[in-house]
């Protein structure tokens, strides 16, 4: 489902999306492949450096590479979320019985048009650190909200 400019019109509204990336199966390979796909199919505004982090939840697995990207897309939120799941599938993602288990790629929407939509930003430094790096690099801010 490439997001080419031929699918848009001059009146198309674009959305900015902050994406959290995580991988721990052949992480360098899958990280590079995800970046290649997203750069070619979305408008990349900014990206963070990848950080290596210990697994959260299920511990019997390798460390993760985590990063964040800021992209622009003409897709609406639900369509873009479905697109990201399709990219995960293209990268060989298998959804097993352990939700926090190993994965070739996990792509989650953290913020949509400046609004935080994933509590993971508040709960996990492996999400927050790369996102904050992207925000600083792109001179963007997020609308803070009450959270628990």
pLDDT tens per residue, range 48-93: 999 999 888 878 889 999 999 999 999 999 999 999 999 999 999 8
Q: How far is Cα 131 from Cα 125, in angstroms, rounded to an integer?
A: 9
Which pLDDT score, from 0 to 100, does residue 95 have?
Answer: 84
CB atoms near residue 127 (< 10 Å): 23
Which pLDDT score, from 0 to 100, does residue 58 have?
Answer: 77
- Please answer whether residues 110 and 20 qualify as being in contact, where contact means their C-beta atoms are separated by less than 8 angstroms: yes
Which pLDDT score, from 0 to 100, does residue 12 have?
Answer: 75
- Please answer whether residues 44 and 28 qualify as being in contact, where contact means their C-beta atoms are separated by less than 8 angstroms: no
- What number is the average pLDDT over the span 107-124? 95
Least confident of 2-11, 14-23, 24-33, 47-56: 2-11
Which pLDDT score, from 0 to 100, does residue 94 have?
Answer: 85
- What are the domain boundaries of the chain? 19-138
Angle between helices 77-90 and 27-41 in degrees, nearest 10: 140
**What is the H or E stretch that residue 125 is in?**
helix 125-138
Class level of CATH domain 19-138: alpha beta
Both tokens of residue 21?
């990336």
């Amino acid at each position: 489902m490439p997001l080419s400019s031929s699918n848009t019109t001059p009146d198309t509204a674009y959305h900015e999306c902050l994406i959290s990336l995580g991988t721990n199966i052949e992480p360098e390979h899958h990280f590079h492949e995800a970046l290649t796909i997203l750069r070619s199919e979305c408008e990349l505004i900014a990206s963070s450096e990848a950080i290596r982090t210990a697994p959260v939840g299920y511990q019997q697995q390798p460390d993760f590479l985590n990063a964040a990207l800021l992209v622009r897309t003409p897709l609406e939120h639900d369509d873009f979320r479905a697109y990201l799941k399709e990219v995960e599938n293209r990268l060989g993602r298998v959804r097993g019985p352990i939700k926090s288990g190993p994965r070739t790629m996990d792509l989650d929407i953290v913020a949509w048009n400046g609004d935080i939509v994933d509590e993971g930003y508040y709960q996990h430094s492996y999400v927050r650190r790369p996102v904050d790096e992207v925000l600083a690099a792109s001179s963007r801010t997020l609308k803070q909200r009450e959270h628990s």
